[in-house]
Structure 1
Amino acid sequence: MTPTAVSSLYGVFRTGGLRMALPLEELREVIVRPAEFSPLPTAGVGLLGAVNLRHTVIPVLDPCLLAGRPSAAETGEVIIIVSSDGRLFGLLADAIEGSTHVAADALLAVRIGGGVPALFSHTFERADDRAVVALLDAATIIDTPAIPAVADPAQQPGTPTPVTASVAAQSQEPHRTLLMFECGGTGLSIDVTHVHSVMPDLELHSSPLDGPICRGVAHLDGHAVPVIDPIKLLGLGLQATTDTHRGVVVSLPRGLITLTATDVTDITTVPADDILPIPKLPSPDHALLAGLLTTDDRQYLVLDGQALRENPELAAFGALNLRLDSQASPADPPPGDTDAAGRDKHRVIPSVRKFLTYSIGVEAATPLEQIDEILPYPSHHLSLDEAPLIGMFTHRRTTIPLINLPVLLGRPHTPDPATDRVLLVTVAPGATAGLVVPDLHAIEQSVWEESAKTTNDLLQRPLIGMGTPENNRLVPHFDLIAIAAEHLGRHLAGRESAAPHTPSNVGPASPHPRS
């Protein structure tokens, strides 16, 4: 059921025996509790200490102690970062129990007798289990005597956001944005302008192209794309061959190649002067290298993207992007997406918006605005043996299909009712889907995003940078509304194709490929 305009979205969490909520706009993010808190020189009731979050020292409070109840310090596992009126503080919690829409007339105002400030302003009853939830008043908590709160760097007047500061810095001196990846024990990097996409689960297929530098082909956008070993390509063949888990797809003038990688670790922007020239040695192949980059923890060989594009041997491989349906013709365009100058249209754009991160076997991220509610796994539902559609349940007088998201994306998963969560998304007016995920991670802000990709492969997702411009990790972006709508549409089409009156040229939906 689509929330009405008079309802608001609240994040619900549990601490000790208390269930509490915050308006979602005040819930900045959720982080894992550290092993210990840093002490602060104040003795406010409920103050546990502080955590250092991306160079901001944030005081952490125990809501149970604030409420005069036994401490939750033994059971608390996460810290909720709260932003209110330009100030930040943290709340210790046992677990995040999801989000829920609450209509304005369902909020019950609370007054505390004797002039004592109330830590909560309203209560409401959660629809799925009738639990009583207290809506915390962040402003009152901040104003409690001896309770510290720090200025929110993102809301200070005249202070540029991290993304704005990063962009401004780049305009003052030449910078290069590099995709960092590992190949065995060797660190490699390449300018993102030459990167078409990243394959998070690279599956190699034998082909007639196999040879000294080609390890086979990978299937991408309906084409067989040659897979090149960058270690052999650079003449570093003395290193031991390692397992390949990822693929870095590079755009060439007439097609694509995929570079094998043990892992893709980062996208980072560095001053161009930090990339130092290397001596002209016979090994590695100097002609394909732009230099050497040293970071805090290791060194990376920087591939020269333009030299890769101009290399005759690689250009020949790029021209052999064969259609998998064996109907390719000389007029068929390769799967690369390039402009008139031959540059890949893939680009990274600054972005500051909230994402929910969660596990589907690998970490994934979805824009928070796509999630209507987060629910516990339904204790009562009608089971269906039509994986990944595993059942149906009712919520707010609406019947909702229950979809096993990891299985939909080709990853085995048996739901655990005790720990799994259900993400509700609206796929069409009046139509809601429930997507089962094994584990919720956090609510976080992005610092950049890849531009959208046109692909039908659910595993070839755009990447998002989480953290700060200087220290971020890569998380694939999953559009859950599109995924759920596509699957439900295929499921219905498959059921219709099984009916006797259905035309024979309409077949059931094929399962999504495994990673």
Structure 2
Amino acid sequence: MTPTAVSTLYGVFRTGGLRMALPLEELREVIVRPAEFSPLPTAGVGLLGAVNLRHIVIPVLDPCLLAGQPSAAETGEVIIIVSSEGRLFGLLADAIEGSTHVAADALLAVRIGGGVPALFSHTFERADDRAVVALLDAATIVDTPAIPVVADPAQQPGTPAPVTASGAAQAQEPRRTLLMFECGGTGLSIDVTHVHSVVPDLELHSSPLDGPICRGVAHLDGHAVPVIDPITLLGLGLQPGTETYRGVVVSMPQGLITLTATDVTDITTVPADDILPIPKLPSPDHALLAGLLTTDDRQYLVLDGQALRENAELAAFGALNLRLDSQASPADPPPGDTDAAGRDEHRVIPSVRKFLTYSIGVEAATPLEQIDEILPYPSHHLSLDEAPLIGMFTHRRTTIPLINLPVLLGRPHTPDPGTDRVLLVTVAAGTTAGLVVPELHAIEQSVWEESATTTNDLLQRRLIGMGTPEDNRLVPHFDLIAIATEHLGGHLVRAGERGSAYAGQRGTRDSATSVMS
């Protein structure tokens, strides 16, 4: 493995308007914020007070105040217990956002002038949402003047690594970092790599998804996320009712699910060998468990995060993360079309996909995954008088046929180089087509779709439900790959032949620059 291929696992959290991270080995555990902090007789910048955690008094800091930002005291809901060089302190945070692997060459070193100690040493871009994350330097924080810290009783600084009889240091045994939580009287845990975030105060809302394992939905980041009872899921009965639930949000292949918990107790790193296999019994569901972990005070069933992701029923729940502003549920018919579900040719199905909406004289929608790139209208192109094939241009060392999409669909349109855009789609292996559209609208998420077979008639195309029920906004679906393949197959072959000669005459200079990828 090359040095650039080495990656480190970081725990990411949000506080105020900042996203921060710590190496997972420094993130000891996460606890719910108490109603008030105990005062300490010091006035360090960012010091909020202290919490008593299992008879250890731990100072709690507000990282926003440390960074010179407005305090997060009003929004902070959890406390992250950090262990660095044998010293403990707490950081107030709004939410834990899971963990992420970051390659060494993806870390960007930060230097702050003027001799001021830097609270963060590097930054990186989180892959899933491109958020900028600051990597905190815990050692700098604990060395900041007037910041109190306490000794970590679980660490003995300076203790040498164990050695073998030959005098060589023993290799460290594999270890796993787990989030520990309670479900009534049952202890559960899951690898933090599968945890998206933790909800300290989970509010349940009823929905059409309610069933044997689904307790309703939770409103998270503008979406309705299915809430799953892990005790029922494992075949252990029903989780006891309580006035307050915590939520353990788990990342699925598509979307999220939330596991109900009565308490989230710890994040701990254990030797992998401490997780013992369990016999194949009728209950609990052995397929969803990685083993059993025994700690000093109790036993925990260890959920198999990968098995959860591969479970078909849970994956289906994860795909049903509906936008709250749509107020539509998977069981709702399209607004204004209450009998649509009963028509074979226009059966309504739930849909949570991203679409690009644009104008072709009427509003249209295409699945975003079909669009390779969006370009301005090319300033230089070879004009052709074979409507709707109107020309060719080069982009990224490729000759691309230019197709007037409104004309192809029977609507007159004269391209305006100042406002028109070109949608690049891959029609076949090695063949890219550029479809001209008069105007882009937005990238939006659907709520439902009609499943009727697409026809060539614009008015008969199946519809996509978007927006809110009050808008009753129905947008026709356009499969641009199918349209280009069906209608322009012969044109694309001839364009490719001519394009080779054109590229040889004009060189390989790109004639358009990307405005969205």
Scaled to the shorter chain, the TM-score interval is 0.3 to 0.5
Greater Cα offset, 58-67 or 1-10: 1-10
Distance 1:507 1:192 in 2: 48
Distance 1:316 1:103 in 2: 31
Greater Cα offset, 130-139 or 396-405: 396-405
Work out whether residues 425 and 433 of structure 1, in 8 Å CA contact, stay in contact via their aligned partners in 2. yes
Work out whether residues 30 and 78 of structure 1, in 8 Å CA contact, stay in contact via their aligned partners in 2. yes
Work out whether residues 228 and 259 of structure 1, in 8 Å CA contact, stay in contact via their aligned partners in 2. yes
1:245 Cα deviation from its structure 2 partner: 1.6
**Residues 345 and 156 of structure 1: CA distance in aligned 2, closer, same or farther (over 3 Å):** farther
SS at match of 1:123: strand
SS at match of 1:325: helix
Distance 1:240 1:257 in 2: 20
Distance 1:35 1:52 in 2: 12
State the aligned residue count: 515
Work out whether residues 266 and 474 of structure 1, in 8 Å CA contact, stay in contact via their aligned partners in 2. no
Distance 2:213 2:194 in 1: 20
Work out whether residues 394 and 503 of structure 2, in 8 Å CA contact, stay in contact via their aligned partners in 1. no
Q: Deviations over 1:398-446 (max 9, x none)?
A: 9999999999999999999999999999999999999999999999999
Greater Cα offset, 187-196 or 110-119: 110-119
**Residues 46 and 335 of structure 1: CA distance in aligned 2, closer, same or farther (over 3 Å):** closer
1:458 maps to 458
1:39 Cα deviation from its structure 2 partner: 26
SS at match of 1:153: coil
- Structure having the higher Rg: 2
1:177 Cα deviation from its structure 2 partner: 0.3
Q: Deviations over 1:271-297 (max 9, x none)?
A: 000000000001000000000000000
Greater Cα offset, 322-331 or 486-495: 486-495
Greater Cα offset, 381-390 or 167-176: 381-390
SS at match of 2:169: helix
Greater Cα offset, 442-451 or 154-163: 442-451
Q: Deviations over 1:58-81 (max 9, x none)?
A: 999999999999999999999999
Distance 1:177 1:12 in 2: 14
Greater Cα offset, 246-255 or 114-123: 114-123
1:317 Cα deviation from its structure 2 partner: 0.4
Work out whether residues 334 and 465 of structure 2, in 8 Å CA contact, stay in contact via their aligned partners in 1. no
Work out whether residues 373 and 514 of structure 2, in 8 Å CA contact, stay in contact via their aligned partners in 1. no
1:299 Cα deviation from its structure 2 partner: 0.1
**Residues 182 and 428 of structure 1: CA distance in aligned 2, closer, same or farther (over 3 Å):** farther
**Residues 112 and 162 of structure 1: CA distance in aligned 2, closer, same or farther (over 3 Å):** same
Q: CA-atom RMSD, angstroms?
A: 19.7
1:203 maps to 203
**Residues 216 and 156 of structure 1: CA distance in aligned 2, closer, same or farther (over 3 Å):** closer
**Residues 5 and 39 of structure 1: CA distance in aligned 2, closer, same or farther (over 3 Å):** same
**Residues 103 and 377 of structure 1: CA distance in aligned 2, closer, same or farther (over 3 Å):** farther
Greater Cα offset, 155-164 or 29-38: 29-38
SS at match of 1:471: coil
Greater Cα offset, 59-68 or 385-394: 385-394
Residues 315-354 of structure 1 aligned to structure 2 (within 5 Å):
315-326=315-326
SS at match of 1:159: coil
**Residues 38 and 313 of structure 1: CA distance in aligned 2, closer, same or farther (over 3 Å):** closer
1:464 Cα deviation from its structure 2 partner: 43
Work out whether residues 29 and 443 of structure 1, in 8 Å CA contact, stay in contact via their aligned partners in 2. no
SS at match of 2:343: coil
Unaligned residue ranges in structure 2 (runs of 5+):
none
**Residues 52 and 185 of structure 1: CA distance in aligned 2, closer, same or farther (over 3 Å):** closer
Greater Cα offset, 23-32 or 505-514: 505-514
**Residues 72 and 256 of structure 1: CA distance in aligned 2, closer, same or farther (over 3 Å):** closer
1:207 Cα deviation from its structure 2 partner: 0.2
**Residues 508 and 353 of structure 1: CA distance in aligned 2, closer, same or farther (over 3 Å):** closer
SS at match of 1:34: coil
Unaligned residue ranges in structure 1 (runs of 5+):
none
Distance 2:342 2:407 in 1: 38
Greater Cα offset, 478-487 or 58-67: 478-487
**Residues 418 and 456 of structure 1: CA distance in aligned 2, closer, same or farther (over 3 Å):** closer
**Residues 232 and 471 of structure 1: CA distance in aligned 2, closer, same or farther (over 3 Å):** farther
1:173 Cα deviation from its structure 2 partner: 1.5
Work out whether residues 461 and 476 of structure 2, in 8 Å CA contact, stay in contact via their aligned partners in 1. yes
1:126 maps to 126
**Residues 60 and 512 of structure 1: CA distance in aligned 2, closer, same or farther (over 3 Å):** same
2:171 maps to 171
Residues 54-203 of structure 1 aligned to structure 2 (within 5 Å):
172-203=172-203
Work out whether residues 352 and 445 of structure 1, in 8 Å CA contact, stay in contact via their aligned partners in 2. yes
Percent sequence identity is 91
Work out whether residues 29 and 267 of structure 2, in 8 Å CA contact, stay in contact via their aligned partners in 1. no
Greater Cα offset, 58-67 or 345-354: 345-354
Work out whether residues 119 and 141 of structure 1, in 8 Å CA contact, stay in contact via their aligned partners in 2. yes
Distance 2:129 2:252 in 1: 56
Q: Deviations over 1:22-55 (max 9, x none)?
A: 9999999999999999999999999999999999
Work out whether residues 496 and 502 of structure 1, in 8 Å CA contact, stay in contact via their aligned partners in 2. no
1:237 Cα deviation from its structure 2 partner: 0.4
**Residues 15 and 452 of structure 1: CA distance in aligned 2, closer, same or farther (over 3 Å):** farther
**Residues 7 and 191 of structure 1: CA distance in aligned 2, closer, same or farther (over 3 Å):** closer
Work out whether residues 347 and 450 of structure 1, in 8 Å CA contact, stay in contact via their aligned partners in 2. yes
Work out whether residues 207 and 329 of structure 2, in 8 Å CA contact, stay in contact via their aligned partners in 1. no
1:261 Cα deviation from its structure 2 partner: 0.2
Q: Deviations over 1:185-229 (max 9, x none)?
A: 000000000000000110000000000000000011111000000
SS at match of 2:447: strand
Work out whether residues 321 and 334 of structure 1, in 8 Å CA contact, stay in contact via their aligned partners in 2. no
1:172 Cα deviation from its structure 2 partner: 1.7
Q: Deviations over 1:339-376 (max 9, x none)?
A: 99999999999999999999999999999999999999
**Residues 374 and 288 of structure 1: CA distance in aligned 2, closer, same or farther (over 3 Å):** closer
1:514 Cα deviation from its structure 2 partner: 37
Q: Deviations over 1:205-263 (max 9, x none)?
A: 00000000000000111110000000000000066444552000000101100000000
1:456 Cα deviation from its structure 2 partner: 43
Greater Cα offset, 51-60 or 504-513: 504-513
SS at match of 2:139: helix
**Residues 62 and 346 of structure 1: CA distance in aligned 2, closer, same or farther (over 3 Å):** farther
Distance 2:96 2:318 in 1: 48
1:417 maps to 417
1:326 Cα deviation from its structure 2 partner: 1.2
Distance 2:471 2:245 in 1: 23
SS at match of 1:201: strand
1:382 Cα deviation from its structure 2 partner: 71
**Residues 399 and 119 of structure 1: CA distance in aligned 2, closer, same or farther (over 3 Å):** farther
Work out whether residues 406 and 413 of structure 1, in 8 Å CA contact, stay in contact via their aligned partners in 2. yes
Distance 2:364 2:31 in 1: 16
1:358 maps to 358
Work out whether residues 29 and 444 of structure 1, in 8 Å CA contact, stay in contact via their aligned partners in 2. no
**Residues 261 and 250 of structure 1: CA distance in aligned 2, closer, same or farther (over 3 Å):** same
**Residues 307 and 341 of structure 1: CA distance in aligned 2, closer, same or farther (over 3 Å):** farther
**Residues 126 and 413 of structure 1: CA distance in aligned 2, closer, same or farther (over 3 Å):** farther
Work out whether residues 396 and 510 of structure 2, in 8 Å CA contact, stay in contact via their aligned partners in 1. no
1:506 maps to 508
Higher RCO (Cα < 8 Å, 6 or more apart): 1
Work out whether residues 335 and 472 of structure 2, in 8 Å CA contact, stay in contact via their aligned partners in 1. no
**Residues 442 and 242 of structure 1: CA distance in aligned 2, closer, same or farther (over 3 Å):** farther
**Residues 465 and 430 of structure 1: CA distance in aligned 2, closer, same or farther (over 3 Å):** same
Distance 1:408 1:79 in 2: 59
Work out whether residues 490 and 508 of structure 1, in 8 Å CA contact, stay in contact via their aligned partners in 2. no
**Residues 278 and 126 of structure 1: CA distance in aligned 2, closer, same or farther (over 3 Å):** closer
TM-score (norm 1): 0.35
**Residues 100 and 293 of structure 1: CA distance in aligned 2, closer, same or farther (over 3 Å):** closer
Greater Cα offset, 305-314 or 34-43: 34-43
1:8 Cα deviation from its structure 2 partner: 36
